[in-house]
Chains A and B, each alone.
Chain A
Amino acid sequence: MDKLMRELRSNLLSNQDISIIKNELWQLPIRSYNVSFSRVKRFKMDILMKMLLLAFQETDIRRAATLADMLLVEELFIHDLIGKMERTGLVRLEKQGYKLTAKGHDYLGKGIFEEDMEEDQAPIFYSHVHGEYRLASDQTNPEAEKILPTYRYAIDGTVDWDEIYELLSKEESGSAEENFQVIVTDVIGCEELGTESIPCIEFQLYDQKQDIFYARVWNGMIGGWDETLAKQIEEQEVVKWREAMDKQKELQN
């Protein structure tokens, strides 16, 4: 940690206009959860095509316009798609309207049924300051060597299942075998594991040339400069830092 801090310091100070007015170490509390969720395997099939097949199965339709009115979809699209289905032999035009061929029935069947998969679990971190859920990485977070003070603007909150679902849909869905996709269908459970402490290094900086105060926060979890934290600190404190400096100058004079 000290080594990292030295490195960062020297990097920052390589610009001669910049001076570090304060340098602090603290920890950012982060909630850790174990989330379990359900998944299904589904045949890859375009929904409009599925809808058309369903509609042809259910009623007699001769004109694309009729469907366009029912589904509120551009007639052009339906026209195109019917053409494509006719060419591939899924439907054909009969007296009463379009009818599914045997191939069409088969195809629709595949599209409708989905196969349940085993439940799965994923560890998730949540930082309320960032308002952000993320999958916990495999690597262990650098543990603070000593007990660090907590981030001064840390806040606490409750779990938002929808956001977790959104994260999982994005991260855990994907293709399975050919023509099939895996979809997260629901979040089943969410077990809070506890609070992790992420060590962070804060620099309060002054650029003499530009007469600017600003903050830099190294986030130990992401291993980079954290914009959200730096902005939050600047928002709250920059004016105070300036006042303090002005006062100090006055004292010196």
Chain B
Amino acid sequence: MANATISIHKTSLRFTKTATEKMGGFGISERSFFIADNPFKVFIERYPTTPDGALSVALIFERAENGRLAGKELEGSVVLHCIFTNHQLLVTNVTLRKNYQVLGTNWQREESFVFNNSRDPAPVTLINLINRMTPAKERSDYVKKRIGSWEGYLKIQEQGMDIPDIKTGYSKLAFNHDFSRITLTGCGLKDNEWKTLRGLSVRLAGIDGDVGTVIKATNLSVEIELQNYIVKQLREKGHTLPKREVVFSNFAALSQIRRLRQGFTNLEKGLAINPNLDRLLFEEKPKVAPLKPMEKLTFHNRLNEFQQRAVSGAVAAEDLYVIQGPPGTGKTTVIAEICLQNAKKGLKTLVASQSNLAVDNALGRLLANKDIRILRVGRTESIEEDGKKFIEENVGQYWKDNTLKEITAQYEMRKNRGLELERELEETEQAYKELQPIYERLAAAIENKKAALEKKRRIQSALGEEHNKLQGFEILKEKAVRQKWDIEQKLQALEESIQKDQALLGSKTMEWFQEEQNRILHEIQQFERARLKKKLEAELAEKKLDMAAIAGKRDQVLAELAEKKKVLDRIEGTKKVDGLLQIMADQKIEEVPAITYGINKLEVNRDKMDVWGKLKKYNESIAAAISYVDPLAVAANLSIDELKQQAAAAAESFTSADIDHFLEMLREVLKSSRRNEPAILAKALTGLYKRQNDLWRRGAKLKTADAYIEDSKRTFQGLKKVLHEQTMKQQQHFFDLDQKWLEELETKRLEGVPLERQIQQLSDVAHLAINIDEAIEEQQVELAELRKERALYEQAKQLVEEHQKEHVQQTNEFEANKTAIAELNEEIASLQESISFNEKEMNSLREVLSANPEAQFEEAGKKMASLSFTKESLKQEQKNLPLLQSIQKKWLDLLEEANDHDLDEIRKMYIKHANVIGTTCVASARKDFVDNYPAFDVVIIDEVSKATPPELLLPMLKGKKIILVGDHHQLPPLLGNDTLEETLEEMIKENSGFEEKRELEKLLEESLFERLYKNLPETNKTMLAIQYRMHADIMETISPFYRLENKQLQCGLPDSDRDRDHLLESNLVNRTNHLMWLDLPNEPAYFEERMSGGKSLYNPVELQEISRLLVELNSAVGEAKKAGRIQQDHLKSIGVISFYGEQVKRLQRLIDQELRLPHLTIKTGTVDRFQGSEMEIILLSMVRNNQNPHGDIGFAKDYRRLNVALSRAKELLVLVGSSQMFTKRAKKTETKQMYKHVLDVVKKKNGLKALTGSRG
């Protein structure tokens, strides 16, 4: 709360005129601030900075200071409103703050002040301190704004609440069949009052406390649902009430809302125990303080790794820790363990929850431990069995029972302890005595071993030396032996070599070598001559061949000459150019320029003659045409001359095609009827003359044909002449060639003569003619061999001498080596003898050394010490035993006899020192509770997701540290009897004019727990991921709901089949079935129905099926009992649950009225009401089955509701409903997907049973 500081602020203080005046009004003098015997205790509260930027602050004096300031009591605390100007603290106003306003909120700081009236500036530390504070208004505005989003919850509950109490008489009171409700008739109410009755609490004259709540008020009767605890009282007194008077009141509900509102206000005012609670709750990322270092905890419950982490984390967290606990994961165990850990540390814990049941469950699970003192606070009548023993009037008894149990156990155990002790003591002494000599023997053995060790070391060192020496000698010996072998090898080689060489020397002489050489040289000479002869003969033959060839060539040339002569004659006789060209081609006569010129000229002449011919022909045609047209023109009175002149005037040129065309046209015209038209004629004639003129002009450029002929003849003669000359030139060339060959022939003949002579001289070697080269080579090889042999011979002679010398030397060395080896052998033998002696010595030590007396000695020592300690403590115990026993006996007797009165003192102390307090969220804000327990070190809230944020806030305000336990994948809070959705739906339907509908919908989406869990750092949260409730098959259906968490949900049962065996066998259910779906067709006969005039749905076929199933299960349990699988007195617990209240009502009626099921214990309830419970078997009636176009499945679409429904069963879960409806017809894909997963698992586990089959 307040941060008390030791330091004292010393500051000057000045007052404005206003302030002084106001102070005067309260009877306070300025001087009283400055007479400082003791510092003033002041709460400072920062104000928002003034518009001109001055730091503004309020100094609030504790009321106890009023005496010092005013000399009398005042109506409240004195408040100085100050600003800092020129670094001085200036009081601008003085007021009194009402006494009921709490001091020391989180927005204030408690400080000590000493004031003086100097003009010194205020200390910097004070200014900084204030500067660092958040203005109280800002903090509380912040809270107000954030908390606004929670207002919706209260607004829903506040609807139509401001009703004054209604008091009236009644004429009759009637119970319903099971006394759970009463109906009052004959109430004298006004018309408008009837409407407001619903939900009001009811008091009856003559009965203490509220009897219940109005659930229906129609037809002049009021139906009241009774509180459980009032039923008995009422059924006994109901008939004899003295006065028939009833009061309908809203007081209880209103005071609850008021408490919730007070929670908001307290947070705004900064009255939370944890000064950062507002930030933790509202910041997007809650700024939690770092954890304390984790300590190693000793756990008192058996916890799995996740539970251990949750406990360790919760213990180490400074301000906030969140535990996500899916169904059956042992949340309560975790809470119990945290409470115990806290108790051990001397911390006080509040365990709160939305419902009494959850609080009692959690407390019931706490271990009876003397460190932990549990107190259950709340209205006794609403506390469940588990919590009852912890209420104030029972804690004495609880304490007595536990203490008695423990003392008895100890006392009984110690009864036989005296004799036991004597025996133990004797045994211990005996053991000690026996151990003594062993101990001494071991000590001697250790000495012995030490000596042996010394000797061993000595021998070892000697052995080491000897081994070294031996090794040296052996190396030397090895070397000598190797040397010996080498020498032997060498001698042998020498001897062999000498022997060989000497053999060689004995076989030949030097003279023989000389003779042989001479012989071979002569042979070679003869062979070389023969080779020369052969070569010369070949040369001669070649010459002769050449000469023959030359003669042949001369004959050819002569033939050519004759040919050329014939050509000359042919040229002379040729008359045409073509003939000449042919000769040229035949004789390959080169076309010299003169020839080219002649040929071209002939060609030109021929062309000109051609043109001339053509022109002549056209001229004739045109002339003929003119001669035809002329008379026509004349006849047409055209002047020929004029036309001629016109034609001549423009000289044009025409192609022959043009002329042909024109003539053709003309012929056409002349054949036509227009032939006499003068214009045509004139045009024709002009055309004709124009062309004639052109022809003539062209003709004038040419010579006559004859002239061209003459010229051609001349040219032809010229051409002939040139050809003649050319042919003559070729003839001359052949003459020259012939002459050349003749000369060459002569040269060859002359060269042959000396060759023939030489051949004659070599005729003596003619017999050697075959393979001369080979023979020469053979002889030369022979000669080389001979020479080599001779060299070897000479070398051998020298070698023998050398080898003989070396042999002598080696023999000497061999002798020396032999002696050395013998010496070495001797040395080695002597060493080996010494070594073997030493080794024997060592062996003799081994036994002593291998013994391990040290460990035994140490052990014996320890054992003796422990025996001695045991002896002492036994003696001590023996001494104390009678006393302890006597005291405990007395204590036991006292406890056994103790009655309530005897325990009164204990009870008071227990309550005073209670360190685990359990209560509901709302009760934690009751006045008496707040007075008794203003603050807790730790506040644990269970089932957080089931409480609304305003409810949660109440216990949260009270804790330094807050631990939240819940599961946002299960259902959100109920408002009254309805879910938030239902409430909202109803409000919308009633069109109640509630404007914040949108806001409410937002509330539905946001869960405080979920947001905190998601946004907290890993260190401040844990998910308990191992569940122990459900058979693994059942768990599989809900695992997708936790898929997105860090950890996957696991099954902690070591063997599901064994640990969750339902032991039943029936037509429908096998021992192996743990998850089933009784599938109804999606057909009208199986459809849901609606209550006439009601909103809730039910399904008659499902009722029938469940009835059938219950009967079957009942007899299956009977069978199992007969077979000895189930104990005779065991009742199988079955929960029959549904999404719809109406169906539940009908199920309950069915079970009460139509079935007798002695082997079962059955509870019915809506899924929402079953949250937190578990049963061996669960039957889920799904109700929805229709063919509406929307495919609406109502409340069943909320995955959290499905999660709760699926996770209640331990051994067997049977869904009864139409799989078609839920997996195919449902509106949303994710809904279908969700149910499809369930169906898939069911199918996988062979649990799908179609109804048609079972109905047969």
Contact = CB atoms under 8 A, between A and B. Distances in A.
A55 B235 CA distance: 52
Contact of A212 (B406, B902, B1149): B1149
Contacts of A70: 884, 887-888, 891
> By CB atoms of chain B within 10 A, which of A14, A48, A58 has the most?
A48
A169 B899 CA distance: 10
Contacts of B898: 47
Contacts of B901: 44, 181
Contact of B1155 (A45, A58, A212, A239): A239
Contact of B902 (A12, A46, A81, A207): A46
Interface of B: 172, 174-175, 177-179, 183, 185, 235-236, 238-239, 370-371, 373, 403, 406-407, 410, 883-884, 886-888, 890-891, 894-895, 898-899, 901-906, 909-910, 912-913, 1149, 1152-1156
A46 B886 contact: no
Interface string A172-215: 01000000010100000000000000000000010100111110
A225 B235 contact: yes
Given A46-B903, A54-B890, A239-B1154, 4 more contacts: A70-B888, A71-B888, A210-B1149, A212-B177
A45 B901 CA distance: 8
A80 interface: yes
Nearest to A45: B902
Contacts of A234: 1152
B307 to A, nearest CB: 27
B179 A58 contact: no
B1153 A72 contact: no
A181 B370 CA distance: 29
B905 A49 contact: yes
Given A70-B888, A207-B177, A227-B235, A238 B906 contact: no
A210 to B, nearest CB: 7
Given A50-B894, A72-B410, A211 B177 contact: no
Which of A11, A73, A238, A242 counts the most B-chain CB atoms under 10 A from its CB? A73
A58 B887 contact: yes
Interface in A40-75: 44-51, 54-55, 58-59, 70-74
26 contacts: A11-B174, A12-B174, A14-B172, A15-B174, A44-B901, A49-B905, A59-B887, A70-B888, A71-B407, A71-B888, A71-B891, A74-B371, A74-B913, A81-B909, A181-B901, A183-B899, A210-B177, A213-B1153, A214-B178, A225-B175, A225-B235, A227-B179, A227-B235, A238-B1152, A239-B1153, A242-B1154
B876 to A, nearest CB: 14
Contact of A47 (B178, B410, B895): B895
A161 interface: no
A93 interface: no
Contacts of A155: none
A205 B1154 CA distance: 15
A251 B1053 CA distance: 56
Contacts of A71: 403, 407, 887-888, 891
A57 B895 CA distance: 19
Contacts, number: 106
A212 B235 contact: no
Nearest to A239: B1156
A59 B177 contact: no
A47 B407 contact: no
Contacts of B906: 46-48, 77
A224 interface: yes
Prevailing SS type, chain B contact patch: helix
B406 A72 contact: yes
Contacts of B887: 54-55, 58-59, 70-71
B373 A74 contact: yes
Size bracket, chain A contacts: 35 or more
Contacts of B406: 72
A154 B603 CA distance: 166
Contacts of A44: 901-902
A235 to B, nearest CB: 8
B174 A214 contact: no
Nearest to A78: B909
B894 A77 contact: no
Contacts of A147: none
Given A72-B403, A227-B179, A238-B1152, A47 B902 contact: yes
A117 interface: no
Contacts of B905: 46, 48-49, 81
Nearest to B912: A80
A58 B370 contact: no
A11 B179 CA distance: 15
A80 B1149 contact: no
Contacts of B1155: 239
Contacts of B175: 225
A145 B222 CA distance: 39
A72 B407 contact: yes
Interface in A68-113: 70-74, 76-77, 80-81
A211 B1153 contact: yes
Contacts of A214: 177-178
Contacts of A47: 894-895, 898, 902-903, 906
Contacts of A227: 179, 235
Interface string A8-34: 000110110000000000000000000
A37 to B, nearest CB: 15
A33 B886 CA distance: 41
Nearest to B404: A72
B877 to A, nearest CB: 13
B1152 A212 contact: yes
A51 B891 contact: yes
Contacts of B239: 224
A14 B183 CA distance: 11
A229 B1159 CA distance: 21
Contact of B913 (A76, A181, A239): A76
Contacts of A51: 890-891, 894
Contacts of B183: 15
Contacts of B909: 76-77, 80-81
A22 B902 CA distance: 54
Give the top 4 A-B pairs by smallest Cβ distance, nearest first. Answer: A46-B905, A214-B177, A47-B902, A47-B894
A227 B234 CA distance: 12
Contacts of A238: 1152-1153
B1152 A46 contact: no
Nearest to B910: A77
Contacts of A207: 177
B904 A46 contact: yes
Contact of A59 (B371, B883, B891): B883
Contacts of B903: 46-47
Contact of A73 (B178, B185, B403, B1152): B403
Interface string A139-170: 00000000000000000000000000000010
Contacts of B895: 47
B238 to A, nearest CB: 8
Nearest to B177: A214
B403 to A, nearest CB: 6
Contacts of A55: 887, 890
Contacts of B904: 46
A70 B236 CA distance: 49
A11 B239 CA distance: 10
A179 to B, nearest CB: 10
B370 A72 contact: yes
Given A14-B174, A48-B906, A212-B1152, A74 B370 contact: yes
Contacts of B913: 74, 76-77, 80
Which of B178, B179, B888, B909 has the largest number of chain A CB atoms within 10 A?
B909
